[in-house]
Structure 1
Amino acid sequence: MTRDGWRLAVGTLTAMPCPPPGRVDPRVAARSVVLGPVAVLPLALLVTGVLAGGRQIGITSLALGFVAVGALALGSRAFHLDGLADTADGLTASYDRARSLAVMKSGDVGPAGAAALVVVLGVQATALATVHPLLAVLAVCLSRWGHAAACARGSVAATPGGLGAAYAGSLGPAAVALLLVVAGAALAGGAHLAGLPWWRGAAGVLLAALAVTALARRAHRRLGGVNGDVMGASIEVSLALLLVAVA
């Protein structure tokens, strides 16, 4: 069970080669959520390495931030960015549930999806341009708990089958609360070590959790539940908000 959870976490959060899990069910999905920050640690270190190397050779800060965002996207096959674009397009395409789901499944990027990508990636890049290396690592890793609120008990899948069906409702409220407390404590501690007020780290986690909860509720009203695209959007939005809080 733990091995399948690890394989699912690596396979959905990174582009690193990994055997597929033997099975995917809510228990395996829950374990993959918990293991997410560890699975993505190599990508977090890659981002930090890009930032450190770029600063050493004098690359302009903002340009360096975009290079770091690009490296992170490559390291995850842009999987969650695709979810962000599809979610934005689906939630703005129509008030008809079937039409919205069809738009999300099409794979095309519309105006809303393009705007969401520009805004979220721009925020991430701008924040990464100035963030402390320790906080960059923590933000990237902890953002992979960003979809925990969308996986909370009571959440349902928008459609049967797919990853969304396994993740929706897979985490109990106590587990979600514990992940948020651990994330808040870790980012608050990192902020303190980096010379920032500790509360900025905690506030970032709280803000990200509120944003994902609002997104999940919107998805339930418009789509009838959450799916893999909403999970991906939750991760990207969480990363942007965590970076803004500690940049």
Structure 2
Amino acid sequence: MINSGESVRLAFSWLTVLPVGGPATVDRKSAARAIAATPLTGLALGIGVTGLLWVLTLAGLTPALAGIVTVGAHALVTRGMHIDGLSDTFDGLGCYGPPERAREVMYTGGAGPFGVAALVVCLGAQALAFAELASADRWGTLVIVVFTGRVAVVIACRQGISAANDRGFGALVAGTQGPVAIGAWTAVAVAASTSFGSPPWFGPVATAVVLGATVLFVRHCARRFGGLNGDVLGATLELTVTALAVTVSATAT
């Protein structure tokens, strides 16, 4: 089993392009510890995304254009894995047939109409919401939003959710997270959201509702695909970031 420091490095090596080395071999225990450390990658990426958006607006870009560039940079620094998962998941959800057929559609490698629509709507809304937060100088809020997207990944890997097959990323991480890790990170996200502004209850309620919606989304995907896979985790992350950013941006001005 790897130690805590190695768990954090493994999480960063999995979920970012940062040149951090992970262990040569990974089992389910190691994967569980890395997933539990995933919100730390969200904190780092949140700070980076917020810093980039601030610099771009300071340099004279309109908030909307800065938001688009920032969302693109966020995709690049995560190797495009999450947006690929978003596209594949919606293509799978949009097809007919049994779980095997849905997984086959997801694994084809191309983007179908449902996947393209999901990318355009989700990333477009994300970029515009980031722009609204930038216009309102809600920089800390943006950090928390990106962080919370990774908390959703921990929740998605909760016990009771099985993997779609016995190979791949899903087989390593599905069902690995217990109530302690989930409860602790959820509490941190909800507590941090109290800084979202007035009224003071808005942030915690919005965060709790969005994270609750991810539970329903993952449950539906697990039923549709016969279990959890890495694509669903990517979709869950991106949808959480978008939903929370849009919700909070509505009160930003």
Name the structure 2 match of 1:182.
Answer: 188
Match of 2:153 among 131, 147, 150: 147
SS at match of 1:19: coil
Please give the alpha-carbon distance, in whole angstroms, between the structure 2 residues aligned to 1:124 and 1:231.
18
State TM-score, norm by structure 2: 0.89
Q: Which has the larger displacement, 40-49 or 105-114?
A: 40-49
Match of 2:83 among 72, 81, 84: 81
Please give the alpha-carbon distance, in whole angstroms, between the structure 1 residues aligned to 2:34 and 2:230.
14
Change (3 A) 1:48 1:29: same
The 5 A counterparts of 1:131-146 are: 131=133, 132-146=138-152
Tell me the number of residue pairs that the alignment of Structure 1 and Structure 2 aligns: 243
Structure 1 consecutive aligned stretches of length 4 or more whose deviation exceeds 3 Å: none
SS at match of 2:52: helix
Name the structure 2 match of 1:236.
Answer: 238
State TM-score, norm by structure 1: 0.91
State yes or no: 1:224 paired with 2:230: no
Task: Please report how far the alpha carbon of residue 51 of structure 1 lies from its aligned counterpart in structure 2 after TM superposition.
Answer: 1.6
Cα offsets for 1:182-218 (capped at 9, x unmatched): 2111122x31xxx443323212321222222112111
Q: Which has the larger displacement, 28-37 or 62-71?
A: 28-37
Task: Please report how far the alpha carbon of residue 46 of structure 1 lies from its aligned counterpart in structure 2 after TM superposition.
Answer: 2.4
Please give the alpha-carbon distance, in whole angstroms, between the structure 2 residues aligned to 1:4 and 1:26.
14
State yes or no: 1:173 paired with 2:179: yes
SS at match of 2:146: helix
Please give the alpha-carbon distance, in whole angstroms, between the structure 1 residues aligned to 2:200 and 2:110.
41
Residues 41, 150 of structure 2: 8 Å contact kept = no
SS at match of 1:18: coil
Task: Please report how far the alpha carbon of residue 93 of structure 1 lies from its aligned counterpart in structure 2 after TM superposition.
Answer: 1.5
Task: Please report how far the alpha carbon of residue 133 of structure 1 lies from its aligned counterpart in structure 2 after TM superposition.
Answer: 0.8
Match of 1:34 among 8, 33, 36: 36
Residues 44, 141 of structure 1: 8 Å contact kept = yes
> What percent identity do the matched residue pairs reach?
40
Task: Please report how far the alpha carbon of residue 95 of structure 1 lies from its aligned counterpart in structure 2 after TM superposition.
Answer: 2.6
Task: Please report how far the alpha carbon of residue 7 of structure 1 lies from its aligned counterpart in structure 2 after TM superposition.
Answer: 2.6
The one-letter code of the counterpart of 1:207 is V
Name the structure 1 match of 2:214.
Answer: 212
Task: Please report how far the alpha carbon of residue 239 of structure 1 lies from its aligned counterpart in structure 2 after TM superposition.
Answer: 0.7
Task: Please report how far the alpha carbon of residue 125 of structure 1 lies from its aligned counterpart in structure 2 after TM superposition.
Answer: 0.6
Task: Please report how far the alpha carbon of residue 175 of structure 1 lies from its aligned counterpart in structure 2 after TM superposition.
Answer: 2.7
SS at match of 1:198: coil
Unaligned stretches of 5+ residues in structure 2: none
Residues 33, 144 of structure 1: 8 Å contact kept = no
Task: Please report how far the alpha carbon of residue 4 of structure 1 lies from its aligned counterpart in structure 2 after TM superposition.
Answer: 3.6
Residues 85, 117 of structure 1: 8 Å contact kept = yes
Match of 1:119 among 104, 109, 121: 121
Task: Please report how far the alpha carbon of residue 246 of structure 1 lies from its aligned counterpart in structure 2 after TM superposition.
Answer: 2.3
Residues 208, 241 of structure 1: 8 Å contact kept = yes
Name the structure 2 match of 1:101.
Answer: 103
Please give the alpha-carbon distance, in whole angstroms, between the structure 2 residues aligned to 1:38 and 1:219.
25
Residues 200, 245 of structure 1: 8 Å contact kept = no
Please give the alpha-carbon distance, in whole angstroms, between the structure 2 residues aligned to 1:45 and 1:209.
21
Unaligned stretches of 5+ residues in structure 1: none
The one-letter code of the counterpart of 1:82 is D
Residues 17, 78 of structure 2: 8 Å contact kept = yes
